[in-house]
Structure 1
Amino acid sequence: MRRLQALALAAILLVAGLALDPVLVDPPFFLQSGREHVSARFTRCGIGRGHACVIDGDTFKLGQRKIRIIGIDAPEIEGQCPAERRQAAAAAAELQRLLNQGPFVMIGRIDDMRDRYGRDLRSIERDRPGGATQSIAEAMREGGFARRYAGFKMGWC
Protein backbone atom coordinates (compact mmCIF):
# COMPACT_ATOMS: atom_id res chain seq x y z
CA MET A 1 0.00 0.00 0.00
CA ARG A 2 2.83 2.43 0.86
CA ARG A 3 4.51 1.61 -2.44
CA LEU A 4 1.30 2.45 -4.31
CA GLN A 5 1.00 5.77 -2.44
CA ALA A 6 4.62 6.61 -3.21
CA LEU A 7 4.10 5.85 -6.90
CA ALA A 8 0.93 7.96 -6.97
CA LEU A 9 2.74 10.87 -5.33
CA ALA A 10 5.65 10.55 -7.77
CA ALA A 11 3.22 10.57 -10.71
CA ILE A 12 1.44 13.66 -9.39
CA LEU A 13 4.74 15.50 -8.89
CA LEU A 14 5.92 14.52 -12.37
CA VAL A 15 2.73 15.78 -14.01
CA ALA A 16 2.85 19.01 -11.97
CA GLY A 17 6.50 19.53 -12.89
CA LEU A 18 5.81 19.02 -16.58
CA ALA A 19 2.79 21.31 -16.44
CA LEU A 20 4.88 24.15 -15.04
CA ASP A 21 8.06 23.55 -17.08
CA PRO A 22 8.48 26.84 -18.97
CA VAL A 23 9.97 25.23 -22.07
CA LEU A 24 7.22 22.62 -22.45
CA VAL A 25 3.95 24.48 -22.01
CA ASP A 26 2.47 27.94 -22.12
CA PRO A 27 2.49 29.62 -18.72
CA PRO A 28 -0.72 29.21 -16.75
CA PHE A 29 -2.71 32.42 -16.37
CA PHE A 30 -1.54 33.05 -12.80
CA LEU A 31 2.14 32.92 -13.91
CA GLN A 32 1.79 35.09 -17.02
CA SER A 33 3.59 38.40 -17.23
CA GLY A 34 2.27 41.34 -19.19
CA ARG A 35 1.51 40.90 -22.85
CA GLU A 36 4.20 42.38 -25.09
CA HIS A 37 2.78 43.62 -28.39
CA VAL A 38 5.03 43.21 -31.43
CA SER A 39 4.60 44.69 -34.87
CA ALA A 40 7.64 44.16 -37.07
CA ARG A 41 8.65 42.92 -40.50
CA PHE A 42 10.76 39.77 -40.13
CA THR A 43 13.62 38.67 -42.37
CA ARG A 44 15.92 35.67 -42.04
CA CYS A 45 18.85 36.36 -39.71
CA GLY A 46 22.23 36.94 -41.28
CA ILE A 47 24.89 39.57 -41.81
CA GLY A 48 23.38 43.01 -42.27
CA ARG A 49 19.84 41.90 -41.50
CA GLY A 50 17.30 44.01 -39.67
CA HIS A 51 16.06 44.42 -36.14
CA ALA A 52 13.59 41.51 -36.41
CA CYS A 53 14.72 38.22 -37.92
CA VAL A 54 14.06 34.48 -37.81
CA ILE A 55 16.93 32.25 -36.67
CA ASP A 56 15.21 28.90 -37.19
CA GLY A 57 11.78 27.30 -36.88
CA ASP A 58 11.41 27.93 -33.14
CA THR A 59 13.60 30.98 -32.45
CA PHE A 60 13.66 34.59 -33.64
CA LYS A 61 15.40 37.84 -32.70
CA LEU A 62 14.05 41.24 -31.78
CA GLY A 63 17.00 43.60 -31.51
CA GLN A 64 19.49 41.87 -29.21
CA ARG A 65 16.88 39.55 -27.66
CA LYS A 66 16.55 35.96 -28.79
CA ILE A 67 13.04 34.58 -28.34
CA ARG A 68 12.40 30.82 -28.08
CA ILE A 69 8.80 29.80 -28.72
CA ILE A 70 7.45 27.72 -25.85
CA GLY A 71 6.20 24.22 -26.57
CA ILE A 72 7.80 23.38 -29.91
CA ASP A 73 10.99 21.90 -31.28
CA ALA A 74 11.90 22.53 -34.91
CA PRO A 75 14.68 20.97 -37.01
CA GLU A 76 18.11 22.56 -36.70
CA ILE A 77 19.56 24.69 -39.51
CA GLU A 78 22.92 22.96 -38.96
CA GLY A 79 21.16 19.58 -38.81
CA GLN A 80 22.74 16.15 -38.73
CA CYS A 81 21.63 15.15 -42.23
CA PRO A 82 20.46 16.78 -45.48
CA ALA A 83 16.83 15.91 -44.71
CA GLU A 84 16.94 17.77 -41.38
CA ARG A 85 18.59 20.80 -42.97
CA ARG A 86 15.88 20.91 -45.68
CA GLN A 87 13.15 20.62 -43.03
CA ALA A 88 14.86 23.34 -40.98
CA ALA A 89 14.89 25.75 -43.92
CA ALA A 90 11.19 25.08 -44.53
CA ALA A 91 10.38 25.54 -40.82
CA ALA A 92 12.27 28.85 -40.66
CA ALA A 93 10.47 30.09 -43.79
CA GLU A 94 7.10 29.11 -42.28
CA LEU A 95 7.85 30.86 -38.98
CA GLN A 96 8.87 33.98 -40.91
CA ARG A 97 5.62 33.80 -42.90
CA LEU A 98 3.52 33.40 -39.73
CA LEU A 99 5.26 36.24 -37.89
CA ASN A 100 4.81 38.53 -40.91
CA GLN A 101 1.03 38.00 -41.02
CA GLY A 102 0.58 40.95 -38.69
CA PRO A 103 0.99 42.16 -35.11
CA PHE A 104 1.21 39.51 -32.40
CA VAL A 105 1.60 39.23 -28.66
CA MET A 106 4.43 37.61 -26.71
CA ILE A 107 3.49 36.19 -23.33
CA GLY A 108 6.15 35.29 -20.78
CA ARG A 109 6.16 34.28 -17.16
CA ILE A 110 6.31 36.61 -14.18
CA ASP A 111 9.67 35.06 -13.26
CA ASP A 112 10.98 35.94 -16.78
CA MET A 113 12.22 32.44 -17.58
CA ARG A 114 15.05 31.82 -20.01
CA ASP A 115 16.39 28.60 -21.41
CA ARG A 116 19.92 27.30 -20.92
CA TYR A 117 21.09 29.36 -23.93
CA GLY A 118 19.77 32.61 -22.45
CA ARG A 119 16.82 32.89 -24.84
CA ASP A 120 13.61 34.48 -23.57
CA LEU A 121 10.85 31.84 -23.40
CA ARG A 122 7.59 33.18 -24.81
CA SER A 123 4.21 32.03 -26.08
CA ILE A 124 3.31 33.79 -29.31
CA GLU A 125 -0.33 34.53 -30.11
CA ARG A 126 -2.27 36.61 -32.57
CA ASP A 127 -5.87 37.76 -32.27
CA ARG A 128 -7.92 36.80 -35.31
CA PRO A 129 -11.10 38.40 -36.62
CA GLY A 130 -14.14 37.12 -34.77
CA GLY A 131 -12.30 36.78 -31.47
CA ALA A 132 -10.29 33.64 -32.26
CA THR A 133 -6.67 33.39 -31.11
CA GLN A 134 -3.92 31.88 -33.25
CA SER A 135 -1.07 30.15 -31.42
CA ILE A 136 2.08 30.30 -33.53
CA ALA A 137 3.42 27.14 -31.84
CA GLU A 138 0.22 25.27 -32.66
CA ALA A 139 0.30 26.50 -36.27
CA MET A 140 3.90 25.28 -36.63
CA ARG A 141 2.98 21.85 -35.21
CA GLU A 142 -0.18 21.52 -37.30
CA GLY A 143 1.75 22.38 -40.46
CA GLY A 144 4.32 19.68 -39.71
CA PHE A 145 7.14 22.23 -39.31
CA ALA A 146 7.73 21.52 -35.61
CA ARG A 147 6.98 18.94 -32.94
CA ARG A 148 5.65 19.34 -29.45
CA TYR A 149 8.75 19.81 -27.28
CA ALA A 150 8.99 16.98 -24.74
CA GLY A 151 11.96 18.25 -22.74
CA PHE A 152 14.56 16.63 -25.00
CA LYS A 153 15.56 16.64 -28.65
CA MET A 154 14.47 13.88 -31.01
CA GLY A 155 16.15 13.26 -34.35
CA TRP A 156 14.84 14.59 -37.65
CA CYS A 157 16.91 12.30 -39.91
Structure 2
Amino acid sequence: MAHLVARHHPGSRRRRVSYRRRTQAGFALWLLLATAGISGALGTPSVIERPEARDTGAALVQPGAPAVAPDRLTARFGFCHSGGGRNCVVDGDTFRFEGEKYRIADIDTPETHPARCAEEAVLGEAATRRLRTLLNEGAFTLDEADRDTDVHGRKLRIVTRGGASIGDQLVDEGLARRWEGYRRPWC
Protein backbone atom coordinates (compact mmCIF):
# COMPACT_ATOMS: atom_id res chain seq x y z
CA MET A 1 0.00 0.00 0.00
CA ALA A 2 2.83 2.42 0.80
CA HIS A 3 4.17 1.65 -2.68
CA LEU A 4 0.92 2.83 -4.31
CA VAL A 5 0.81 6.05 -2.31
CA ALA A 6 4.32 6.98 -3.31
CA ARG A 7 3.63 6.04 -6.92
CA HIS A 8 0.52 8.20 -7.15
CA HIS A 9 1.90 11.15 -5.20
CA PRO A 10 1.36 14.27 -7.34
CA GLY A 11 4.97 15.35 -7.01
CA SER A 12 6.39 12.08 -8.29
CA ARG A 13 4.44 12.23 -11.55
CA ARG A 14 5.60 15.76 -12.23
CA ARG A 15 9.20 14.78 -11.67
CA ARG A 16 8.91 11.90 -14.14
CA VAL A 17 7.29 14.10 -16.80
CA SER A 18 9.82 16.84 -16.22
CA TYR A 19 12.70 14.37 -16.50
CA ARG A 20 11.25 12.92 -19.71
CA ARG A 21 10.85 16.37 -21.22
CA ARG A 22 14.39 17.30 -20.25
CA THR A 23 15.83 14.19 -21.86
CA GLN A 24 13.73 14.68 -25.00
CA ALA A 25 14.85 18.31 -25.25
CA GLY A 26 18.46 17.27 -24.69
CA PHE A 27 18.22 14.63 -27.40
CA ALA A 28 16.64 17.15 -29.80
CA LEU A 29 19.49 19.60 -29.16
CA TRP A 30 22.07 16.86 -29.62
CA LEU A 31 20.40 15.79 -32.89
CA LEU A 32 20.35 19.38 -34.15
CA LEU A 33 24.03 19.89 -33.37
CA ALA A 34 24.99 16.53 -34.86
CA THR A 35 23.06 17.28 -38.04
CA ALA A 36 24.66 20.71 -38.33
CA GLY A 37 28.09 19.15 -37.92
CA ILE A 38 27.41 16.56 -40.60
CA SER A 39 26.03 19.10 -43.09
CA GLY A 40 29.06 21.34 -42.45
CA ALA A 41 31.38 18.43 -43.13
CA LEU A 42 29.54 17.67 -46.37
CA GLY A 43 30.09 21.18 -47.65
CA THR A 44 26.58 22.55 -47.26
CA PRO A 45 26.67 26.24 -48.23
CA SER A 46 26.91 28.73 -45.39
CA VAL A 47 24.35 31.05 -46.99
CA ILE A 48 20.72 29.93 -47.07
CA GLU A 49 18.22 31.68 -49.27
CA ARG A 50 14.99 32.64 -47.56
CA PRO A 51 11.90 31.47 -49.49
CA GLU A 52 10.19 34.86 -49.09
CA ALA A 53 13.31 36.62 -50.43
CA ARG A 54 13.79 34.64 -53.64
CA ASP A 55 12.60 37.48 -55.85
CA THR A 56 15.07 39.96 -54.36
CA GLY A 57 18.01 37.61 -54.08
CA ALA A 58 18.45 38.43 -50.37
CA ALA A 59 20.07 35.74 -48.28
CA LEU A 60 20.44 34.80 -44.65
CA VAL A 61 23.90 34.09 -43.32
CA GLN A 62 24.18 31.24 -40.87
CA PRO A 63 25.90 31.88 -37.56
CA GLY A 64 29.60 31.17 -37.83
CA ALA A 65 29.74 31.96 -41.56
CA PRO A 66 32.53 34.40 -42.49
CA ALA A 67 30.20 37.11 -43.83
CA VAL A 68 30.69 40.46 -42.08
CA ALA A 69 33.18 41.00 -39.31
CA PRO A 70 31.44 41.98 -36.08
CA ASP A 71 31.37 45.65 -35.20
CA ARG A 72 33.66 46.19 -32.22
CA LEU A 73 34.15 49.95 -31.84
CA THR A 74 31.91 51.82 -29.46
CA ALA A 75 31.88 55.01 -27.43
CA ARG A 76 29.45 57.55 -26.04
CA PHE A 77 29.56 60.58 -28.36
CA GLY A 78 28.82 64.17 -27.50
CA PHE A 79 29.26 67.33 -29.58
CA CYS A 80 32.67 68.93 -30.18
CA HIS A 81 31.61 72.52 -29.51
CA SER A 82 35.10 73.89 -29.06
CA GLY A 83 36.82 71.67 -31.66
CA GLY A 84 38.37 69.26 -29.16
CA GLY A 85 37.29 66.15 -27.37
CA ARG A 86 37.93 62.45 -27.23
CA ASN A 87 34.60 61.04 -28.56
CA CYS A 88 32.48 63.75 -30.14
CA VAL A 89 30.81 64.83 -33.37
CA VAL A 90 32.18 67.93 -35.14
CA ASP A 91 29.61 68.06 -37.95
CA GLY A 92 27.61 65.70 -40.16
CA ASP A 93 30.66 64.02 -41.69
CA THR A 94 33.43 64.58 -39.13
CA PHE A 95 33.89 63.20 -35.63
CA ARG A 96 36.54 62.40 -33.03
CA PHE A 97 36.93 58.85 -31.79
CA GLU A 98 39.48 57.93 -29.13
CA GLY A 99 40.97 61.40 -29.65
CA GLU A 100 41.61 60.86 -33.40
CA LYS A 101 39.74 63.00 -35.95
CA TYR A 102 37.84 61.11 -38.69
CA ARG A 103 36.05 62.22 -41.82
CA ILE A 104 33.40 59.91 -43.26
CA ALA A 105 34.89 59.22 -46.70
CA ASP A 106 31.78 58.27 -48.67
CA ILE A 107 29.64 61.38 -48.00
CA ASP A 108 29.57 65.16 -47.91
CA THR A 109 27.32 67.06 -45.52
CA PRO A 110 26.42 70.75 -45.21
CA GLU A 111 28.95 72.93 -43.44
CA THR A 112 28.29 74.22 -39.94
CA HIS A 113 31.59 76.04 -39.23
CA PRO A 114 30.57 78.40 -40.83
CA ALA A 115 27.45 77.70 -42.88
CA ARG A 116 27.16 79.78 -46.04
CA CYS A 117 23.38 80.32 -45.78
CA ALA A 118 20.50 79.69 -43.38
CA GLU A 119 19.33 76.53 -45.21
CA GLU A 120 22.82 75.03 -45.01
CA ALA A 121 23.01 75.85 -41.29
CA VAL A 122 19.69 74.12 -40.56
CA LEU A 123 20.54 71.02 -42.63
CA GLY A 124 24.09 70.92 -41.24
CA GLU A 125 22.84 70.97 -37.65
CA ALA A 126 20.34 68.20 -38.44
CA ALA A 127 23.11 66.09 -40.03
CA THR A 128 25.35 66.68 -37.01
CA ARG A 129 22.66 65.60 -34.54
CA ARG A 130 21.77 62.56 -36.65
CA LEU A 131 25.40 61.41 -36.93
CA ARG A 132 25.73 61.65 -33.15
CA THR A 133 22.58 59.56 -32.71
CA LEU A 134 23.76 56.94 -35.22
CA LEU A 135 27.20 56.63 -33.61
CA ASN A 136 25.60 56.24 -30.17
CA GLU A 137 23.21 53.50 -31.34
CA GLY A 138 25.80 50.74 -30.99
CA ALA A 139 29.06 49.25 -32.13
CA PHE A 140 30.46 50.23 -35.52
CA THR A 141 33.44 49.60 -37.78
CA LEU A 142 35.83 52.06 -39.44
CA ASP A 143 36.64 50.64 -42.89
CA GLU A 144 39.57 51.99 -44.90
CA ALA A 145 38.88 54.30 -47.83
CA ASP A 146 40.91 54.90 -50.99
CA ARG A 147 43.23 57.27 -49.06
CA ASP A 148 44.29 57.22 -45.41
CA THR A 149 43.99 60.96 -44.68
CA ASP A 150 42.62 64.12 -46.26
CA VAL A 151 44.38 67.48 -46.74
CA HIS A 152 43.34 68.52 -43.21
CA GLY A 153 44.99 65.46 -41.61
CA ARG A 154 41.70 63.74 -40.78
CA LYS A 155 41.61 59.96 -41.17
CA LEU A 156 39.30 58.99 -44.03
CA ARG A 157 37.08 56.05 -43.16
CA ILE A 158 33.76 54.53 -44.17
CA VAL A 159 31.69 54.02 -41.03
CA THR A 160 29.62 50.82 -41.10
CA ARG A 161 27.32 48.93 -38.79
CA GLY A 162 26.42 45.38 -39.71
CA GLY A 163 28.15 45.89 -43.06
CA ALA A 164 25.93 48.84 -44.03
CA SER A 165 27.34 52.33 -44.49
CA ILE A 166 26.15 54.93 -41.99
CA GLY A 167 26.97 57.50 -44.68
CA ASP A 168 24.49 55.81 -47.03
CA GLN A 169 21.87 56.09 -44.30
CA LEU A 170 22.51 59.84 -44.00
CA VAL A 171 22.20 60.15 -47.79
CA ASP A 172 18.94 58.17 -47.76
CA GLU A 173 17.60 60.52 -45.07
CA GLY A 174 18.46 63.60 -47.16
CA LEU A 175 21.14 64.84 -44.74
CA ALA A 176 24.16 64.14 -46.95
CA ARG A 177 25.33 63.60 -50.54
CA ARG A 178 27.54 60.86 -51.84
CA TRP A 179 31.15 62.05 -52.00
CA GLU A 180 32.08 62.94 -55.59
CA GLY A 181 35.68 63.93 -54.94
CA TYR A 182 34.89 67.60 -54.33
CA ARG A 183 32.47 69.77 -52.36
CA ARG A 184 29.45 71.33 -53.99
CA PRO A 185 27.56 74.26 -52.46
CA TRP A 186 24.45 73.58 -50.36
CA CYS A 187 22.98 77.07 -50.83
The residue number in structure 2 matching 1:69 is: 104
Q: What corresponds to 1:104 in structure 2?
A: 140
Larger relative contact order (CA 8 Å, sep ≥ 6): 1
Using the size of structure 2 for normalisation, the TM-score is 0.58
User: Are 1:135 and 2:165 an aligned pair?
Assistant: yes
Cα distance in 1, alignment partners of residues 161 and 186 from structure 2: 28
Pair 1:38 & 2:73 matched? yes
1:123-150 per-residue CA deviation (whole Å, 9 max, x = no partner) reads: 11112xxxxx321010010000000111
1:52 corresponds in structure 2 to 87
C-alpha separation between the residues in 1 aligned to 2:71 and 2:147? 12
Fraction of identical pairs, as percent: 39
Match of 1:95 in 2: 131
CA RMSD of aligned residues (A): 2.3
Which amino acid counterpart does residue 52 of structure 1 have in structure 2?
N
Q: Max radius of gyration: which structure? A: 2
Partner of 1:82: 118
Q: Please name the residue that 1:20 is paired with.
A: none
TM-score by length of 1: 0.68
Contact 1:37 1:106 in 2 (8 A): no
Deviation larger for 34-43 or 85-94? 34-43
Post-superposition shift, 1:35?
8.9
Gaps of 5+ in 2: 1-68
The one-letter amino acid of 1:138's match is D
Question: 1:52, 1:125 → 2: CA distance?
Answer: 17
Alpha-carbon shift at residue 46 of structure 1 (Å): 2.1
Question: Aligned partners of 1:142, 1:55: CA distance in 2, in Å?
Answer: 21
For structure 1, the 5+ residue unaligned runs are 1-33, 128-132
Q: Using a 3 Å threshold, how does the CA distance of structure 1 residues 48 and 155 change in structure 2: closer, same or farther? A: closer
- Deviation sequence 1:51-82 (CA, Å, 0-9, x none): 21000000100133110111100000011111
Distance 1:48 1:82 in 2: 22
Aligned mates of 1:149, 1:47 — CA distance in 2: 26
